[in-house]
């Protein structure tokens, strides 16, 4: 399991998985979509269209796990905001509740990314709790794209600062020689 801040951090080979509310009384259903991105890579997503409210979670979470397993997707990310909206709960509580119901049912060897938004620490705690509860779930720094992105941005800022410093140093040094 890894982390992304938002959809833009997701590698293109990771399909988006999200939850959408079904009309009252409708059975759980799915919609799969695909389109090319700017680089010509094919992107995929699946919507699980399910009854709204946390009381219905156990009525569809097994359907979700089974469908993802049958599809054979081994790289996907979960849209956490969509879980919150369908369960009508605060985002971290909704995702925690979803994970506790989902992970016992989904055991495919896969890389699942959690969309953390601004709640990085809370979702890290959720993932670590799931890893303790379910032996087949683990958190891997290799797939922590949110952390990797932050490290790359910090490294780029440091390099720009060094270039400015050396440029300023050369400019001042050149001025001192002409005086």
Question: What percent of the chain has a predicted confidence (pLDDT) above 70?
Answer: 88
Yes or no: say if 15 and 44 are a contact pair by the CB < 8 Å rule.
yes
Is the predicted pLDDT of residue 154 greater than 90, yes or no?
A: no
Angle at 129 between CA 151 and CA 98, to 5 degrees: 100
User: Under CATH, what is the fold of the domain 2-143?
Assistant: 3.40.220
Q: Return all residues near 3 (Cβ < 8 A) that are at least 6 apart.
A: 113, 114, 115, 116, 120, 123, 124, 127, 143, 144, 145, 146, 147
Mean pLDDT (whole number) for 29-44: 93
pLDDT band of 169, cuts 50, 70, 90: low
Is the predicted pLDDT of residue 178 greater than 90, yes or no?
A: no
Least Cα distance to 15 among 60, 68, 70 occurs for: 68
Could you tell me how many residues make up the chain? 179
The sheet carrying 75-78 orders its strands as: 2-4, 111-115, 75-78, 15-21, 42-50, 29-36
Is the predicted pLDDT of residue 162 greater than 70, yes or no?
A: no
Is the predicted pLDDT of residue 147 greater than 90, yes or no?
A: no
Residue 104: both structure tokens together: 């016992």
* pLDDT, position 166: 60
pLDDT band of 101, cuts 50, 70, 90: very high
* pLDDT, position 172: 64
* pLDDT, position 173: 65
* pLDDT, position 151: 76
Q: For residues 131 and 136, what is the distance between their CA atoms, to the nearest angstrom? A: 7
Crossing angle of helices 91-102 and 80-87, in 10° steps, is 90
Least confident range of 8-12, 43-47, 117-121, 170-174:
170-174
Map residue 80 onto helix, strand or coil: helix
Domain ranges within the chain, ordered by starting residue: 2-143, 146-178
Map residue 1 onto helix, strand or coil: coil
Rounded mean pLDDT of the chain?
90
* pLDDT, position 12: 92
């Amino acid at each position: 399991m890894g982390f992304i801040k938002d959809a833009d951090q997701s590698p293109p080979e990771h399909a988006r998985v999200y939850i959408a509310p079904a009309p009252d009384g409708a059975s759980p259903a799915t919609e799969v979509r695909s389109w090319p991105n700017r680089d010509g890579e094919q992107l995929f997503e699946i919507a699980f269209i399910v009854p709204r409210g946390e009381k219905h979670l156990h009525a569809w979470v097994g359907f979700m796990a089974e469908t993802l397993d049958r599809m054979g997707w081994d790289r996907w990310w979960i849209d956490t905001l969509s879980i919150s909206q369908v369960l009508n709960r605060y985002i971290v509580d909704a995702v925690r509740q979803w994970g506790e119901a989902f992970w016992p049912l989904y055991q495919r060897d896969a890389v699942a990314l959690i969309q953390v938004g601004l709640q990085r620490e809370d979702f890290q705690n959720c993932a670590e709790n799931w890893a303790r509860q379910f032996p087949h779930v683990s958190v891997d720094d290799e797939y922590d794209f949110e952390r990797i992105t932050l490290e790359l941005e910090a490294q780029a800022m440091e390099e720009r600062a060094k270039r400015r410093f050396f440029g300023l140093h050369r400019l001042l040094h050149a001025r001192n020689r002409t005086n």
